[in-house]
Amino acid sequence: MSGLQAHGVVRSYGPTPALRGVSLDVAEGEIVAVTGPSGCGKSTLLHCLAGILRPDVGEVHWRGERIDTWPEAARSRLRRTEFGVLFQFGQLVPELTAAENVALPLLLAGTGRRGAGRAAREWLDRLGVAHLADVRPGAMSGGQQQRCATARALVTGPRVLFADEPTGALDTLGGEEVLTRLVHLAREQGTTIVLVTHEPRIAAYADREVMLRDGVVDPTGLGLDEPLVPVAGPGAVAR
């Protein structure tokens, strides 16, 4: 089966269990929100799916290939090509302008300087911040920085975007503006999104919500507010 899957993923930090057997299928082009109370394992699941962390037990598959056993170099290459990541604080390089920040992943992937610069400006334009191309992050608002970070996450045309509380540092209006553009662009390009959030308003942008509780998929889906689609029984594949 294509898409992204976790099978029985278990992950601890020393004695602290974070995931206690999570299975999840994400279809290509789908936008899935992973929700649940603080500490329930959302970020750990996202990191395992993105190949940043390795599960202690269980498997992660992308397009039919098991990726959790790949060496770090191969998983990191996957994150530079088919996967993109976007965090709460955009983590732009402060010394670089917006255009330079957005061009960076392309330059690292071997694109020529001129082509990378052109693509960076196009993506800044799509995110509504073309006018900030020559500005450094320190002179931008949080929302502007997050738009630039979103452009940087999408410029390589990732098949999957992993977003961890991408609007968590923004006010409601700013957050929704960034998210509306992100979801629109993802749909346009058929990009899959795995979106970690604890805010029901943000989760409502997804096609489906998967709720975690204490390191497992909450079978009731009632951990927070009403879920969009309740998930199946314990240990079942959340789909």
Judged by beta carbon, residue 21 or residue 117, the one nearer ligand ATP is 21
Coil, strand or helix: which one is 41?
A: coil
Give yes or no for residue 43 binding ligand ATP (CB under 6 A): yes
Identify which of residues 9 and 98 has a Cβ nearer to ligand ATP in the complex: 9
**x/- map, 155-194, ligand ATP, by CB under 6 A:** ----------------------------------------
As measured in angstroms, the least distance from the Cβ of 134 to ligand ATP is: 34
* Binding residue count for ligand ATP, defined by CB under 6 A: 12
Amino acid at 184: H
Minimum CB distance to ligand ATP smaller for 36 or for 221: 36
85 has which bridge partners?
Answer: 162
Q: How far is the CB of 212 from ligand ATP (least distance, A)?
A: 7
- Nearest-approach distance from CB 188 to ligand ATP, in angstroms: 29
Pair 39, 52: CB distance under 8 Å: no
Name which position in 21, 41, 105, 175 contacts ligand ATP (CB under 6 A). 41
Query: Is the CB of residue 47 less than 8 Å from the CB of residue 56?
Result: no
Answer for which of 4, 6, 26, 40 binds ligand ATP (CB under 6 A) is: 40
Residue choice 20, 63, 77, 198 for contact with ligand ATP (CB under 6 A):
198
Q: Which is nearer to ligand ATP, 37 or 142 (CB)?
A: 37
- Exposure pattern of 93-117 as b/e (b: 16+ CB <10 Å)? eeeebbbbbbbbbbeeeebeeeebb
Q: Which stretch binds ligand ATP (CB under 6 A): 22-30, 36-44, 172-180, 224-232?
A: 36-44
Subset of residues 3 to 22 that bind ligand ATP, contact rule: CB under 6 A: 13, 16, 18
Report, in Å, the least distance between residue 217 CB and ligand ATP. Answer: 13
- Answer yes or no whether residue 38 interacts with ligand ATP by CB under 6 A: yes
- In terms of C-beta distances under 8 Å and separation of at least 24 residues, what long-range contacts does 58-62 make, across chains too? 58/6, 58/7, 58/8, 58/9, 58/10, 58/21, 58/22, 58/23, 59/5, 59/6, 59/7, 59/8, 59/9, 60/4, 60/5, 60/6, 60/7, 60/9, 61/4, 61/5, 61/7, 62/3, 62/4, 62/160
Helices (H), the chain: 42-49, 72-80, 98-108, 113-126, 142-154, 172-189, 200-203
- Footprint on this chain of ligand ATP (rule: CB under 6 A): 13, 16, 18, 36, 38-44, 198
